[in-house]
Amino acid sequence: MNRLLFLGAGPMAEAIISGIVRKEIMPGTSIYVKNRQNQDRIEELVAKYGINGFNPEKDQLDQFDMIILAMQPNDIGEVCRDLKQKIHPQQLIISIISSVSTEYFEEHLHQQQPIIRVMPNTSSTINESATAISIGKYVEEKHVNFTKTMLAAIGTVYVIEESKMDIFTGIAGCGPAYFYAFMEQMETLAVEHDLPIELARNMIAQTILGSAKMVLLSDEDPMVLRKHVAAPNGPTEAGLFALEAFGGKKAIIEAVKAATERSKEIGKLFNV
Ligand SMILES: NC(=O)C1=CN([C@@H]2O[C@H](COP(=O)(O)OP(=O)(O)OC[C@H]3O[C@@H](n4cnc5c(N)ncnc54)[C@H](OP(=O)(O)O)[C@@H]3O)[C@@H](O)[C@H]2O)C=CC1
Ligand SMILES: O=C(O)[C@@H]1CCC=N1
Protein backbone atom coordinates (compact mmCIF):
# COMPACT_ATOMS: atom_id res chain seq x y z
CA MET A 1 0.00 0.00 0.00
CA ASN A 2 1.55 3.28 -1.08
CA ARG A 3 -0.69 6.18 -0.15
CA LEU A 4 -3.22 6.48 2.62
CA LEU A 5 -5.76 9.28 3.15
CA PHE A 6 -7.69 9.99 6.34
CA LEU A 7 -10.99 11.81 5.79
CA GLY A 8 -11.54 13.25 9.26
CA ALA A 9 -8.78 14.31 11.62
CA GLY A 10 -10.39 13.78 15.04
CA PRO A 11 -8.82 11.96 18.00
CA MET A 12 -9.51 8.48 16.55
CA ALA A 13 -7.74 9.35 13.30
CA GLU A 14 -4.83 10.76 15.29
CA ALA A 15 -4.56 7.62 17.44
CA ILE A 16 -4.26 5.45 14.30
CA ILE A 17 -1.83 7.85 12.61
CA SER A 18 0.41 7.93 15.67
CA GLY A 19 0.50 4.12 15.80
CA ILE A 20 1.31 3.77 12.09
CA VAL A 21 4.07 6.37 12.22
CA ARG A 22 5.58 5.23 15.54
CA LYS A 23 5.66 1.57 14.48
CA GLU A 24 6.92 2.54 10.99
CA ILE A 25 4.11 0.67 9.22
CA MET A 26 4.21 3.45 6.62
CA PRO A 27 6.36 6.56 6.36
CA GLY A 28 4.61 9.79 7.35
CA THR A 29 5.23 11.08 3.83
CA SER A 30 2.73 8.49 2.48
CA ILE A 31 -0.04 9.55 4.84
CA TYR A 32 -2.46 12.38 4.02
CA VAL A 33 -5.18 13.92 6.13
CA LYS A 34 -8.23 16.04 5.31
CA ASN A 35 -10.92 17.71 7.41
CA ARG A 36 -14.11 19.31 6.24
CA GLN A 37 -13.17 22.75 7.66
CA ASN A 38 -10.70 22.73 10.53
CA GLN A 39 -7.37 23.46 8.84
CA ASP A 40 -5.59 24.34 12.11
CA ARG A 41 -6.07 20.77 13.23
CA ILE A 42 -4.56 19.50 9.95
CA GLU A 43 -1.52 21.71 10.45
CA GLU A 44 -1.17 20.41 14.01
CA LEU A 45 -1.11 16.76 12.83
CA VAL A 46 1.24 17.56 9.93
CA ALA A 47 3.74 19.15 12.33
CA LYS A 48 3.41 16.42 14.95
CA TYR A 49 3.71 13.31 12.72
CA GLY A 50 5.46 14.49 9.57
CA ILE A 51 2.41 13.64 7.45
CA ASN A 52 0.77 15.68 4.65
CA GLY A 53 -2.30 17.87 4.58
CA PHE A 54 -4.53 17.06 1.58
CA ASN A 55 -4.22 19.92 -0.86
CA PRO A 56 -7.27 20.08 -3.17
CA GLU A 57 -5.24 22.04 -5.73
CA LYS A 58 -2.77 19.22 -6.32
CA ASP A 59 -4.09 16.08 -4.61
CA GLN A 60 -6.97 13.97 -5.88
CA LEU A 61 -8.99 11.35 -4.04
CA ASP A 62 -8.44 8.70 -6.72
CA GLN A 63 -4.67 8.84 -6.21
CA PHE A 64 -4.84 7.00 -2.87
CA ASP A 65 -4.64 3.23 -2.47
CA MET A 66 -6.67 3.40 0.68
CA ILE A 67 -9.06 5.94 2.26
CA ILE A 68 -10.00 5.84 5.93
CA LEU A 69 -13.37 7.40 6.79
CA ALA A 70 -13.02 8.90 10.27
CA MET A 71 -15.89 11.37 10.65
CA GLN A 72 -19.16 11.10 12.61
CA PRO A 73 -21.97 9.13 10.88
CA ASN A 74 -24.41 12.10 10.57
CA ASP A 75 -23.83 13.24 6.99
CA ILE A 76 -22.33 10.05 5.61
CA GLY A 77 -24.90 10.01 2.76
CA GLU A 78 -23.50 13.26 1.42
CA VAL A 79 -19.92 12.05 1.98
CA CYS A 80 -20.63 8.91 -0.08
CA ARG A 81 -22.26 10.85 -2.94
CA ASP A 82 -19.21 13.09 -3.14
CA LEU A 83 -16.73 10.21 -2.81
CA LYS A 84 -18.39 8.13 -5.52
CA GLN A 85 -17.73 10.86 -8.05
CA LYS A 86 -14.06 11.10 -7.11
CA ILE A 87 -12.79 7.60 -6.30
CA HIS A 88 -12.38 4.47 -8.42
CA PRO A 89 -13.75 0.99 -7.62
CA GLN A 90 -10.40 -0.57 -6.73
CA GLN A 91 -9.62 1.75 -3.85
CA LEU A 92 -9.87 0.17 -0.41
CA ILE A 93 -12.26 2.09 1.86
CA ILE A 94 -11.84 1.58 5.59
CA SER A 95 -14.55 2.99 7.83
CA ILE A 96 -14.02 3.54 11.54
CA ILE A 97 -17.45 5.17 11.72
CA SER A 98 -19.53 3.45 14.37
CA SER A 99 -22.81 1.70 13.50
CA VAL A 100 -22.67 2.05 9.68
CA SER A 101 -22.46 -1.33 7.88
CA THR A 102 -20.10 -2.39 5.10
CA GLU A 103 -23.28 -3.05 3.04
CA TYR A 104 -24.23 0.61 3.27
CA PHE A 105 -20.93 1.65 1.70
CA GLU A 106 -21.12 -1.16 -0.90
CA GLU A 107 -24.53 0.20 -1.88
CA HIS A 108 -23.54 3.87 -1.94
CA LEU A 109 -20.04 3.71 -3.44
CA HIS A 110 -18.99 1.84 -6.60
CA GLN A 111 -20.18 -1.68 -7.33
CA GLN A 112 -17.60 -4.09 -5.93
CA GLN A 113 -15.82 -1.45 -3.86
CA PRO A 114 -13.69 -3.16 -1.20
CA ILE A 115 -14.88 -2.01 2.25
CA ILE A 116 -13.51 -2.88 5.69
CA ARG A 117 -15.36 -1.72 8.81
CA VAL A 118 -13.30 -1.11 11.94
CA MET A 119 -14.25 -0.53 15.58
CA PRO A 120 -11.25 0.65 17.60
CA ASN A 121 -11.33 2.28 21.02
CA THR A 122 -9.58 5.32 22.44
CA SER A 123 -6.80 3.21 23.99
CA SER A 124 -5.45 3.21 20.42
CA THR A 125 -3.56 6.29 21.57
CA ILE A 126 -1.26 4.12 23.69
CA ASN A 127 -1.33 1.05 21.39
CA GLU A 128 -3.77 -0.80 23.67
CA SER A 129 -6.97 -0.79 21.62
CA ALA A 130 -9.25 -3.80 21.38
CA THR A 131 -10.11 -3.40 17.69
CA ALA A 132 -12.59 -5.40 15.61
CA ILE A 133 -12.70 -5.53 11.84
CA SER A 134 -15.43 -6.92 9.62
CA ILE A 135 -14.83 -7.56 5.99
CA GLY A 136 -17.01 -6.45 3.07
CA LYS A 137 -17.94 -8.68 0.11
CA TYR A 138 -15.35 -7.38 -2.32
CA VAL A 139 -12.30 -7.28 -0.10
CA GLU A 140 -9.17 -9.17 -1.19
CA GLU A 141 -6.68 -10.97 1.02
CA LYS A 142 -4.04 -8.27 0.49
CA HIS A 143 -6.49 -5.66 1.84
CA VAL A 144 -7.16 -7.71 4.99
CA ASN A 145 -3.46 -8.36 5.56
CA PHE A 146 -2.54 -4.71 5.26
CA THR A 147 -5.43 -3.56 7.46
CA LYS A 148 -4.54 -6.08 10.18
CA THR A 149 -0.88 -5.03 10.10
CA MET A 150 -1.83 -1.36 10.26
CA LEU A 151 -4.25 -1.83 13.16
CA ALA A 152 -1.86 -4.11 15.06
CA ALA A 153 0.14 -0.89 15.51
CA ILE A 154 -2.62 0.42 17.81
CA GLY A 155 -3.47 -2.74 19.74
CA THR A 156 -5.04 -6.18 19.40
CA VAL A 157 -7.09 -6.92 16.27
CA TYR A 158 -10.02 -9.35 16.01
CA VAL A 159 -11.74 -10.29 12.75
CA ILE A 160 -15.47 -10.70 13.49
CA GLU A 161 -18.71 -11.06 11.56
CA GLU A 162 -20.48 -7.85 10.68
CA SER A 163 -23.52 -8.96 12.72
CA LYS A 164 -21.38 -8.87 15.90
CA MET A 165 -20.20 -5.30 15.42
CA ASP A 166 -22.91 -3.68 17.58
CA ILE A 167 -22.21 -5.85 20.62
CA PHE A 168 -18.46 -5.35 20.09
CA THR A 169 -19.13 -1.60 20.05
CA GLY A 170 -21.25 -1.81 23.22
CA ILE A 171 -18.46 -3.62 25.06
CA ALA A 172 -15.06 -2.68 23.62
CA GLY A 173 -15.72 0.54 21.69
CA CYS A 174 -17.62 2.16 24.57
CA GLY A 175 -15.94 0.13 27.32
CA PRO A 176 -13.20 2.61 28.24
CA ALA A 177 -15.93 5.09 29.26
CA TYR A 178 -17.53 2.58 31.65
CA PHE A 179 -14.20 1.90 33.32
CA TYR A 180 -13.45 5.62 33.58
CA ALA A 181 -16.87 6.16 35.23
CA PHE A 182 -16.05 3.37 37.69
CA MET A 183 -12.66 4.93 38.38
CA GLU A 184 -14.19 8.39 38.94
CA GLN A 185 -16.40 7.02 41.75
CA MET A 186 -13.54 5.11 43.38
CA GLU A 187 -11.32 8.18 43.19
CA THR A 188 -13.94 10.39 44.84
CA LEU A 189 -14.28 7.91 47.72
CA ALA A 190 -10.51 7.54 48.11
CA VAL A 191 -10.11 11.31 48.36
CA GLU A 192 -13.01 11.57 50.82
CA HIS A 193 -11.02 9.11 52.95
CA ASP A 194 -7.99 11.44 52.84
CA LEU A 195 -5.84 9.64 50.30
CA PRO A 196 -3.89 12.10 48.14
CA ILE A 197 -5.44 12.31 44.69
CA GLU A 198 -2.25 11.26 42.83
CA LEU A 199 -1.96 8.12 44.95
CA ALA A 200 -5.69 7.40 44.62
CA ARG A 201 -5.64 7.74 40.84
CA ASN A 202 -2.55 5.61 40.47
CA MET A 203 -3.67 2.81 42.75
CA ILE A 204 -7.07 2.56 41.05
CA ALA A 205 -5.52 2.46 37.58
CA GLN A 206 -2.94 -0.10 38.75
CA THR A 207 -5.70 -2.26 40.27
CA ILE A 208 -7.64 -2.31 36.98
CA LEU A 209 -4.48 -2.87 34.95
CA GLY A 210 -3.41 -5.74 37.24
CA SER A 211 -6.85 -7.37 37.05
CA ALA A 212 -6.90 -7.10 33.26
CA LYS A 213 -3.41 -8.59 33.02
CA MET A 214 -4.40 -11.46 35.33
CA VAL A 215 -7.23 -12.36 32.96
CA LEU A 216 -4.95 -12.13 29.92
CA LEU A 217 -1.93 -13.91 31.40
CA SER A 218 -3.18 -16.40 33.99
CA ASP A 219 -5.49 -18.67 31.95
CA GLU A 220 -8.08 -18.50 34.75
CA ASP A 221 -11.54 -17.27 34.09
CA PRO A 222 -12.72 -14.09 35.84
CA MET A 223 -15.10 -15.96 38.12
CA VAL A 224 -12.24 -18.07 39.54
CA LEU A 225 -10.03 -14.99 39.93
CA ARG A 226 -12.86 -13.20 41.73
CA LYS A 227 -13.20 -16.10 44.17
CA HIS A 228 -9.45 -15.99 44.89
CA VAL A 229 -9.85 -12.42 46.18
CA ALA A 230 -12.86 -13.08 48.41
CA ALA A 231 -12.25 -15.03 51.63
CA PRO A 232 -15.44 -16.28 53.34
CA ASN A 233 -16.93 -13.50 55.41
CA GLY A 234 -14.04 -11.17 54.53
CA PRO A 235 -14.07 -7.56 53.27
CA THR A 236 -14.27 -8.51 49.57
CA GLU A 237 -17.27 -10.72 50.13
CA ALA A 238 -18.98 -7.82 51.90
CA GLY A 239 -18.09 -5.52 48.99
CA LEU A 240 -19.36 -8.00 46.38
CA PHE A 241 -22.56 -8.48 48.34
CA ALA A 242 -23.17 -4.72 48.33
CA LEU A 243 -22.33 -4.53 44.62
CA GLU A 244 -24.99 -7.15 43.92
CA ALA A 245 -27.52 -5.66 46.40
CA PHE A 246 -27.21 -2.21 44.80
CA GLY A 247 -27.71 -3.55 41.29
CA GLY A 248 -24.06 -3.60 40.16
CA LYS A 249 -24.42 -6.69 37.97
CA LYS A 250 -27.65 -5.43 36.42
CA ALA A 251 -26.13 -2.00 35.85
CA ILE A 252 -23.23 -3.53 33.89
CA ILE A 253 -25.60 -5.64 31.78
CA GLU A 254 -27.95 -2.74 31.12
CA ALA A 255 -25.10 -0.39 30.16
CA VAL A 256 -23.81 -2.80 27.53
CA LYS A 257 -27.33 -3.53 26.27
CA ALA A 258 -28.18 0.19 25.99
CA ALA A 259 -24.98 0.97 24.08
CA THR A 260 -25.46 -2.03 21.78
CA GLU A 261 -29.09 -1.09 21.12
CA ARG A 262 -28.14 2.52 20.42
CA SER A 263 -25.51 1.36 17.95
CA LYS A 264 -28.17 -0.79 16.20
CA GLU A 265 -30.60 2.13 16.22
CA ILE A 266 -28.06 4.46 14.59
CA GLY A 267 -27.24 1.70 12.10
CA LYS A 268 -30.93 1.53 11.07
CA LEU A 269 -30.73 5.15 9.95
CA PHE A 270 -28.22 3.85 7.39
CA ASN A 271 -30.15 0.77 6.24
CA VAL A 272 -29.69 -0.31 2.65
N1 LIG B 1 -14.17 8.27 20.06
C2 LIG B 1 -14.29 6.96 20.19
O3 LIG B 1 -14.17 6.36 21.30
C4 LIG B 1 -14.55 6.12 18.98
C5 LIG B 1 -15.00 6.70 17.82
N6 LIG B 1 -15.26 5.92 16.74
C7 LIG B 1 -15.76 6.53 15.52
O8 LIG B 1 -14.70 7.24 14.92
C9 LIG B 1 -15.21 8.34 14.17
C10 LIG B 1 -14.39 9.58 14.50
O11 LIG B 1 -14.44 9.80 15.88
P12 LIG B 1 -13.72 11.05 16.54
O13 LIG B 1 -12.30 11.15 16.06
O14 LIG B 1 -14.01 10.95 17.98
O15 LIG B 1 -14.60 12.20 15.82
P16 LIG B 1 -14.61 13.80 15.86
O17 LIG B 1 -16.03 14.20 15.69
O18 LIG B 1 -13.85 14.32 17.03
O19 LIG B 1 -13.78 14.21 14.55
C20 LIG B 1 -14.32 14.03 13.28
C21 LIG B 1 -13.43 14.77 12.28
O22 LIG B 1 -13.96 14.53 10.98
C23 LIG B 1 -13.91 15.74 10.24
N24 LIG B 1 -14.93 15.69 9.19
C25 LIG B 1 -16.28 15.77 9.32
N26 LIG B 1 -16.88 15.63 8.13
C27 LIG B 1 -15.89 15.46 7.22
C28 LIG B 1 -15.87 15.29 5.82
N29 LIG B 1 -16.99 15.25 5.11
N30 LIG B 1 -14.66 15.14 5.19
C31 LIG B 1 -13.50 15.18 5.91
N32 LIG B 1 -13.47 15.36 7.26
C33 LIG B 1 -14.64 15.49 7.90
C34 LIG B 1 -14.13 16.83 11.25
O35 LIG B 1 -13.52 18.01 10.74
P36 LIG B 1 -14.25 19.46 10.81
O37 LIG B 1 -14.13 19.84 12.26
O38 LIG B 1 -13.43 20.29 9.91
O39 LIG B 1 -15.67 19.25 10.37
C40 LIG B 1 -13.37 16.27 12.48
O41 LIG B 1 -12.02 16.65 12.47
C42 LIG B 1 -16.70 8.46 14.55
O43 LIG B 1 -17.49 7.97 13.50
C44 LIG B 1 -16.86 7.57 15.76
O45 LIG B 1 -18.10 6.92 15.78
C46 LIG B 1 -15.02 4.58 16.72
C47 LIG B 1 -14.55 3.98 17.85
C48 LIG B 1 -14.32 4.67 19.07
O1 LIG C 1 -20.13 6.60 21.41
C2 LIG C 1 -19.66 6.81 20.30
O3 LIG C 1 -20.17 7.60 19.53
C4 LIG C 1 -18.42 6.08 19.84
C5 LIG C 1 -18.73 4.66 19.46
C6 LIG C 1 -17.81 3.81 20.25
C7 LIG C 1 -17.17 4.73 21.15
N8 LIG C 1 -17.49 5.95 20.92
Q: Say if CB 42 and CB 53 are below 8 A apart.
A: yes
Nearest ligand 1 atom to the CA of 73 is 43
Distance 238 CA to ligand 1 centre (A): 44
ipTM: 0.98
| 173 CA → ligand 2 middle, Å | 6
Regarding beta strands 4-7 and 31-34, do their DSSP bridges make them parallel or antiparallel, or are they unpaired? parallel
The alpha carbon of 71 and the centre of ligand 1 are apart by a number of angstroms equal to: 3
Instruction: Identify the residues whose C-beta falls under 6 Å from ligand 2.
Output: 98, 169, 173-174
pLDDT in tens, 66-93: 999 999 999 899 999 999 999 999 999 9
**Residue ranges at the known binding site for NADP(+):** 7-12, 70-73
Pairing of strands 115-119, 129-135: antiparallel
Q: Tell me which ligand sits closest to the C-alpha of residue 117.
A: 1
pLDDT at 1 over 70: no
Q: How far apart are CA 59 and CA 51, in angstroms?
A: 14
Domains recognised in the chain with CATH numbers: 4-160 (3.40.50.720), 168-267 (1.10.3730.10)
Decide if 160 contacts 185 (C-beta within 8 A): no
Atom 39 (ligand 1) nearest CA: 36
Pick the ligand that lies closest to the CA of residue 131: 1
The predicted-structure confidence for 101-130, as pLDDT tens digits, reads as follows: 999 999 999 999 999 999 999 999 899 999
How far is the centre of ligand 1, averaged over its atoms, from the C-alpha of 42 (Å)? Answer: 13
- The pTM assigned to this predicted structure is 0.95
How would you list the strands of the sheet with 66-69, edge to edge? 52-53, 31-34, 4-7, 66-69, 92-95, 115-119, 129-135, 155-159
